[in-house]
Amino acid sequence: MTKDTKPLTIGLVIDDSLDRPDGVQQHVLTLGRWLTGKGHTVHYLTSTTQRSDLPRIHSLARNLPMTFNGNRLGIPIAADRKAIAQLFRDVTFDVLHINMPYSPLLAGKIIAAAPPSTTIVGTFHIMPWNTLTSVGTHLLGAIQRRQLGRFRQVIAVSTPAAEFAAKALRVDPIVIGNPVRVLGFSQARDAELALRDEQPEGQPVKIFFLGRLVERKGILELLAAAARLRELTTTPFELVVGGKGPLQDTCLRYVAETNLDDITTFLGYVAEDDKAELLAAADIVALPSTGGESFGISVVEALAACRGAVIAGDNAGYRTVMEGLENQLIDATNTEAFAQLLQGFVEDPQRRDDASAKQVETAQRFDVDYIGRRVIEIYGS
């Protein structure tokens, strides 16, 4: 905490549960822990959340599981106004930080109950994956028009997200990226590099995918590119897939049909604590999302951790994170171009090393210490 910043009582508001490690949840948890470490008192205002490792969690509504914008999430069933009123009697919040778009059934009720003395800011997180997402967000903007006037400032996690928020909600966002604890990932990279001389020679180049096995994350496009890559190169490589999802059976069938099963490993669900080590051990991290990304927390983590090169889908959110590394972006639906980009990195270890050095510098732009200080400035501006 800077000398000029007084300790604040902050409510981080998310309509969804905090039990899943998805992007908005990661934003809330990373920022919350940083704020707590700086001496602020953080409360988490959520729908049904079972975790007990965080203090001051207030589960104010039950949630209903659904899919929105290609992601799993929970939408809250109407929160109890009495419980919200009691929370405001018990806690005097200096700031409520609302994650957006937000539901009128939970966050909307919290905003309505907040006293005038409480500063309200928001962070807008999404890019539309389909027409329904776009129409739904515009509809929320119309419903919440008056309430949005209560916000001191809306933050958007990227320029494309800011442009969408401006159109859908008629707000004027400031762009501040998602916070990532870069240090933990870069330390994993350093540890991996320190062991490089001890590793046996002739190991296959490891290509690693980490993400939900859903359409927009590009896993099927990666498998197709890997099948073509095998025709293009004599350099041994292996493919490791971390994550699970509804496309898992489809992926397994494709791997069998294209004879990739001897070089492909499916890890299933990857715990948060295991991510850094797996990313650091990869020669290439491929995150070929085809769209619907407002940012790319997973990309920042890979940039900080990977001992080799990160290849990312050329979509609006990932392009923001990969600024300066545009030659590592790919339209994953172009199988030939994707395979050729992989080939260049598979066959050239020096090119992978050069990419890794640049990537660590790029990731620093989103370190939680830098992002957190910018958010604190918004709270007090």
Q: Tell which wins on pLDDT, 355 or 72.
A: 355
φ/ψ of 177, rounded to 5, equals -65, 170
- pLDDT of 75 reads 65
Around 190, how many Cα atoms within 13 Å sit in the side-chain half-sphere?
7
- pLDDT of 77 reads 75
Query: What are the pLDDT digits (tens) for 133-144?
Result: 788 888 888 889
**Cα–Cα distance for residue pair 31/179, rounded to 1 Å:** 6
Confidence of residue 11 (pLDDT cuts 50, 70, 90): very high
φ/ψ of 125, rounded to 5, equals -115, -10
pLDDT value at 72 more than 80:
no
pLDDT value at 70 more than 60:
no
pTM attached to this predicted model: 0.90
The structure tokens 């822990």 sit at: 33
- pLDDT of 69 reads 46
pLDDT value at 4 more than 90:
no
Query: What are the pLDDT digits (tens) for 328-361?
Result: 999 999 999 999 999 999 999 999 999 999 999 9
- pLDDT of 1 reads 47
pLDDT value at 62 more than 90:
no
Q: Tell which wins on pLDDT, 140 or 205.
A: 205
- pLDDT of 135 reads 86
Count of residues in the chain: 381
Confidence of residue 73 (pLDDT cuts 50, 70, 90): low
- pLDDT of 95 reads 98
Name 238's bridge partners. Answer: 206
Confidence of residue 160 (pLDDT cuts 50, 70, 90): very high
134 and 166 Cβ atoms separated by less than 8 Å:
no
**Cα–Cα distance for residue pair 361/187, rounded to 1 Å:** 13
**Cα–Cα distance for residue pair 319/296, rounded to 1 Å:** 9
The structure tokens 């957006």 sit at: 100
**Cα–Cα distance for residue pair 145/142, rounded to 1 Å:** 5
Q: Tell which wins on pLDDT, 136 or 154.
A: 154
**Cα–Cα distance for residue pair 288/207, rounded to 1 Å:** 12
Mean pLDDT calculated for residue range 178-198 = 92
φ/ψ of 166, rounded to 5, equals -60, -40
**Cα–Cα distance for residue pair 330/290, rounded to 1 Å:** 9
Element containing residue 251 per DSSP (H, E): helix 248-257
- pLDDT of 206 reads 98
Query: What are the pLDDT digits (tens) for 239-271?
Result: 999 999 999 999 999 999 999 999 999 999 999
pLDDT value at 29 more than 60:
yes
In the three-class reduction of DSSP (H, G, I as helix; E, B as strand; rest coil), residue 151 is classed as coil
Q: Tell which wins on pLDDT, 319 or 70.
A: 319
Q: What is the mean pLDDT of the chain?
A: 93
- pLDDT of 131 reads 80
- pLDDT of 377 reads 96
- Candidates 158, 212, 155, 128; CA nearest to 321 is 158
Element containing residue 66 per DSSP (H, E): strand 63-68
141 and 148 Cβ atoms separated by less than 8 Å:
yes
- pLDDT of 67 reads 58
Lowest mean pLDDT among 18-22, 69-73, 82-86, 294-298: 69-73
- pLDDT of 3 reads 46
- pLDDT of 12 reads 98
